[in-house]
């Protein structure tokens, strides 16, 4: 019997998954903060505290933007590879995985074994990532968890005139001042972001079924908007944020098995 | 001068409502500037277009009836109820720059919310390119990143000119660059070097727009960003050529508007056509809320 850990240090949240052999037994999510090493260590301790008689030794794979800040990791793996692995474990039939992160959006094509066949990343523009949602949620003074449910109540989504999060923020402020309902502004942002995600997916050639993960997948308004934009149904994991950490743990498992 | 009959009115005015600043210029029949006034546009200041005009008239010692023709320009030009005519900022900039620099062929205007490159010939617009879709490449980029560093816009130039080793700002997106500069500061980079790096980043972005049209001397830099000597230096380096900067780089649009008002009037009078002047008064500007 072996123990394997995946640690995914993202720009906003860090995630960890612990496997016993190939089965997930614990997961953890924390704000990344400015000290990734401390965060990584806290996640490791939290995962180990969840199981009786903490196992030693343990194989750890780190991934994400802060993968280099996990000193106890045995190796690092690309987040593209880990996301594909994680999605493949949850949805073996998926041929496309979308990951909507706080600072980037990634669309990955994968085969039946979870191997990456192609991918495209949008990380140059805040309006193409979950950051746009954060910026507008701040204008609307609502929590991120309220964003999706609120947007689904909209009957008349606002059309944003540019694809820029900075100008979008000014527009949202203007609309608020004009008395436009919050839900219409939230829905408008989801539509704008969904359009960017959809164009990224089309660029790479969307293959079905398609799964979605990352913090953005918690926003039901966004997933609904992506589904509508592409005319498809998305596979959404129960906890979309830990998919890449799960994939990293699977990498640790398969690396050790090889 | 006599007042009341339009042909004898020797004064003209231009008002330029930009995203950030509202500018007004009053000229005489020879095109000399009699007064020039600037004031913030801002969301809450939008209704103050008439105040800027009133100040310009006051500075010129004129009453509104003594101005023969008023041209409004800029993105808020349709919201100036006392204007006789609306003309695009592109035409007005081209005309204003021609007055100051007759040999100008390329005009780069970096405003608070957009950036434009104009190819001009003798005051006429030949071609143009603009960015108003993305905050990177506009004055907004500097405004927000400076804000993240706790630096006022007016201090950027002096700080950047003291830089010894400009920091490379790798994020083009304004929002991501805001995070990046704060991180750089926490990593111990000097604020002067970070600001010089921001100037370079903005200059590179605008230079890409200019190169699309081709750089043809003489090149003139206008807009609020041209008041920042650090940016002027960065633009020179990015474009690889010398730049002419008006003494008042914010005013070329309003000056051009006033000159076009003058020329239009003179043309009509030369053709013996009557000037149509409506009853004007400086009421509060009404702004579009629809569409």
Average pLDDT of every residue of chain B? 88
Q: Do A62 and A116 share a domain, yes or no? A: no
Nearest CA in chain B to A180: B289
Q: Do A213 and A245 share a domain, yes or no? A: no
Assigned domain for A87 exists = no
Assigned domain for A157 exists = yes
pLDDT tier for residue B289 given thresholds of 50, 70 and 90:
very low
Q: Which of B133, B171, B174 sits opposite A162 (nearest CB)?
A: B133
Contact (CB, 8 A) for B19 and B111: yes
Distance CA B219, CA B118 (A): 10
Q: Do A137 and A19 share a domain, yes or no? A: no
Q: Which of A34, A164, A178 sits opposite B133 (nearest CB)?
A: A164
Distance CA A87, CA A61 (A): 17
Contacting residues of B for A135, CB less than 8 Å apart: 175
Q: Give B222-281 pLDDT, tens digit per residue.
A: 998 999 999 999 999 999 999 999 999 999 999 999 999 999 988 888 888 777 666 676
Phi, psi at A121, each rounded to 5°? -125, 135
- pLDDT above 70 covers a percentage of chain A that reads 98
Mean local confidence (pLDDT), B106-132? 93
Q: Do A66 and A97 share a domain, yes or no? A: no
Q: Is B176 on the interface with A (CB under 8 A)?
A: yes
Q: Do A109 and A70 share a domain, yes or no? A: no
Assigned domain for A247 exists = yes
Sign of CA dihedral A196, A202, A208, A213: negative
Q: Give A63-72 pLDDT, tens digit per residue.
A: 999 999 999 9
Inform me whether the pLDDT recorded for B59 exceeds 70.
yes
Structural domain count of chain A = 2
pLDDT tier for residue A258 given thresholds of 50, 70 and 90:
low
pLDDT tier for residue B291 given thresholds of 50, 70 and 90:
very low
Inform me whether the pLDDT recorded for B7 exceeds 70.
no
Contact (CB, 8 A) for A104 and A129: yes
Contact (CB, 8 A) for B71 and B84: yes
Distance CA B234, CA B10 (A): 41
B-contacting residues of A 82-121, CB under 8 Å? 103
Distance CA B84, CA B64 (A): 12
Q: Would you call the peptide bond into A209 cis, given omega within 30 degrees of 0 as the criterion?
A: yes
- pLDDT above 90 covers a percentage of chain A that reads 85
Assigned domain for A201 exists = yes
- In this prediction, residue B83 carries a pLDDT of 87
Give chain B's radius of gyration (CA, Å). 20
Whether residue B176 and residue A177 make contact (CB cut-off 8 A), yes or no, is: no
Q: Give chain B as a 3 state SS string.
A: CCCCCHHHCCEEEEEEECCCEEEEEEEECCCCEEEEEEEECHHHHHHHHHHHHHHHHHHHCCCHHHEEEEEEECCCHHHCCCCCEECCHHHHHHHHHHHHCCCCCEEEEECCCCEEEEEEECCEEEEEEEECCCCCCCHHHHHHHHHHCCCCHHHHHHHHCCCCCCCCCCCCCHHHHHHHHHHHHHCCCCHHHHHHHHHHHHHHHHHHHHHHHCCCCCEEEECHHHHCHHHHHHHHHHHCCCCECCCCCCCHHHHHHHHHHHHHHHHHHHCCCCCCCCCCCCCCCCCCCCC
- In this prediction, residue A43 carries a pLDDT of 96
- In this prediction, residue B284 carries a pLDDT of 58
Angle at A157 between CA A155 and CA A158, to 5 degrees: 145
- In this prediction, residue B19 carries a pLDDT of 79
Contact (CB, 8 A) for A99 and A236: no
Whether residue B173 and residue A177 make contact (CB cut-off 8 A), yes or no, is: no
Inform me whether the pLDDT recorded for B285 exceeds 60.
no
Q: Is B134 on the interface with A (CB under 8 A)?
A: yes
Q: Do A255 and A155 share a domain, yes or no? A: no
State how far the alpha carbon of A139 is from the alpha carbons of A171, A176, B55, in Å. Answer: 10, 9, 35
Assigned domain for A46 exists = yes
Q: Do A35 and A99 share a domain, yes or no? A: no
Q: Do A23 and A100 share a domain, yes or no? A: no
Give chain A's radius of gyration (CA, Å). 19
Instruction: Note down the domain range covering A8.
Output: 1-77+241-258
Domains of chain B: 6-93+251-270 (3.30.420.40), 103-239 (3.30.420.40)
Assigned domain for A96 exists = yes
Q: Which of A34, A131, A164 sits opposite B135 (nearest CB)?
A: A164
CATH of the domain at A51: 3.30.420.40
Inform me whether the pLDDT recorded for B1 exceeds 80.
no
The structure's pTM equals 0.83
A-contacting residues of B 185-224, CB under 8 Å? 186
Contacting residues of B for A166, CB less than 8 Å apart: 135, 140, 144, 174-175
- In this prediction, residue B234 carries a pLDDT of 96
Size of chain A, expressed as the number of residues it contains: 258
A-contacting residues of B 239-278, CB under 8 Å? none
Q: Do A98 and A219 share a domain, yes or no? A: yes
Q: Do A221 and A100 share a domain, yes or no? A: yes
Q: Give A30-47 pLDDT, tens digit per residue.
A: 999 889 999 999 999 999
Please name which of A63, A90, A89, A98 lies closest in space to residue A78, comparing C-alpha atoms. Answer: A63
What lies within 8 Å, CB to CB, of A220 at 6+ separation is: A148, A149, A152
- How close A252 gets to chain B, by Cα (Å)? 31
Q: Do A192 and A132 share a domain, yes or no? A: yes
Assigned domain for A84 exists = no
Q: Which of B132, B172, B289 sits opposite A178 (nearest CB)?
A: B289
Distance CA A173, CA A138 (A): 10
Assigned domain for A182 exists = yes
Q: Is B291 on the interface with A (CB under 8 A)?
A: no
Question: Residue A213, Cα to own-chain centre: how many angstroms?
Answer: 5
Q: Do A166 and A43 share a domain, yes or no? A: no
User: Residue A23: left if φ>0, alpha if ψ -120 to 50, beta else—which one?
Assistant: beta
pLDDT tier for residue B290 given thresholds of 50, 70 and 90:
very low
Q: Give A85-114 pLDDT, tens digit per residue.
A: 999 999 999 999 999 999 999 999 999 999
Q: Which of B132, B176, B186 sits opposite A126 (nearest CB)?
A: B176
- pLDDT above 90 covers a percentage of chain B that reads 66
């Amino acid at each position: 019997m072996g123990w394997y850990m995946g640690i995914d240090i993202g720009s906003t949240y860090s995630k960890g998954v612990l496997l016993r052999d190939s089965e997930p037994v614990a997961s953890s999510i924390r704000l990344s903060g400015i000290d990734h090493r401390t965060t990584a260590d806290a996640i490791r301790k939290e995962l180990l505290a969840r199981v009786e008689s903490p196992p030693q030794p343990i194989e750890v794979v780190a991934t994400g933007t802060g993968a280099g800040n996990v000193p106890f990791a045995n190796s690092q793996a690309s987040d593209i590879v880990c996301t594909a692995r994680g999605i493949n474990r949850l949805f073996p039939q998926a041929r496309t995985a979308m990951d909507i992160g706080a600072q980037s959006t990634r669309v990955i094509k994968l085969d039946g074994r979870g191997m990456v066949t192609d991918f495209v990343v949008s990380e140059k523009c805040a309006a193409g990532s979950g950051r746009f949602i954060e910026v507008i949620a701040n204008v609307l003074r609502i929590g991120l968890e309220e964003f999706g449910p609120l947007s689904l109540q909209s009957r008349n989504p606002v059309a944003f005139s540019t694809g820029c999060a900075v100008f979008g923020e000014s527009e949202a402020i203007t609309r608020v001042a004009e008395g436009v309902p919050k839900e219409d502004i939230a829905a408008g942002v989801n539509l704008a972001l969904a359009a960017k995600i959809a164009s990224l997916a089309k660029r790479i050639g969307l293959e079905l079924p398609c799964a979605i993960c990352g913090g953005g997948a918690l926003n039901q308004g966004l997933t609904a908007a992506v589904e509508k934009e592409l005319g498809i149904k998305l596979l959404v994991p129960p906890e979309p944020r830990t998919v890449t950490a799960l994939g990293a743990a699977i990498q640790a498992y398969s690396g050790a098995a090889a | 001068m006599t007042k009341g009959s339009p042909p004898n009115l020797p004064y003209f005015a231009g008002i330029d409502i930009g995203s950030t600043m509202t500018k007004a210029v009053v000229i005489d029949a020879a095109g000399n500037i009699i007064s020039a006034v600037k004031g913030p546009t801002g969301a809450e200041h939008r209704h103050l277009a008439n105040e800027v005009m009133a100040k310009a008239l006051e500075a010129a010692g004129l009453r509104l009836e003594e101005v023969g023709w008023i041209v409004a320009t800029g993105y808020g030009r349709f919201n100036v109820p006392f204007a006789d005519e609306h003309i695009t900022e592109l035409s007005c900039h081209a005309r204003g720059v021609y007055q100051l620099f007759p040999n100008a062929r390329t005009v780069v205007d970096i405003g608070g919310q957009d950036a434009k490159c104009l190819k001009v010939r003798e005051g006429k617009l030949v071609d143009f390119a603009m960015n108003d879709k993305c905050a990177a490449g506009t004055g907004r980029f500097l405004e927000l990143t400076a804000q993240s560093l706790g630096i006022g816009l007016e201090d950027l130039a002096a700080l950047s000119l003291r830089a010894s080793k400009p920091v490379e700002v790798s994020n083009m997106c304004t929002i991501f660059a805001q995070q990046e500069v704060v991180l750089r500061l926490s990593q111990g980079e000097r604020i002067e070097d970070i600001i010089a790096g921001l100037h370079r980043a903005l200059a590179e972005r605008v230079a890409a727009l200019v190169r699309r049209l081709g750089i043809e001397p003489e090149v003139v830099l206008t807009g609020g960003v041209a008041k920042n000597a650090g940016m002027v230096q960065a633009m020179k380096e990015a474009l690889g050529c010398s730049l002419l900067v008006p003494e008042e780089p914010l005013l070329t649009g309003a000056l051009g508007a006033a000159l076009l008002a003058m020329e239009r009037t003179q043309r009509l009078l030369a053709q013996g056509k009557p000037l149509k002047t409506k009853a004007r008064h400086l009421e509060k500007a009404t702004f579009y809320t629809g569409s």
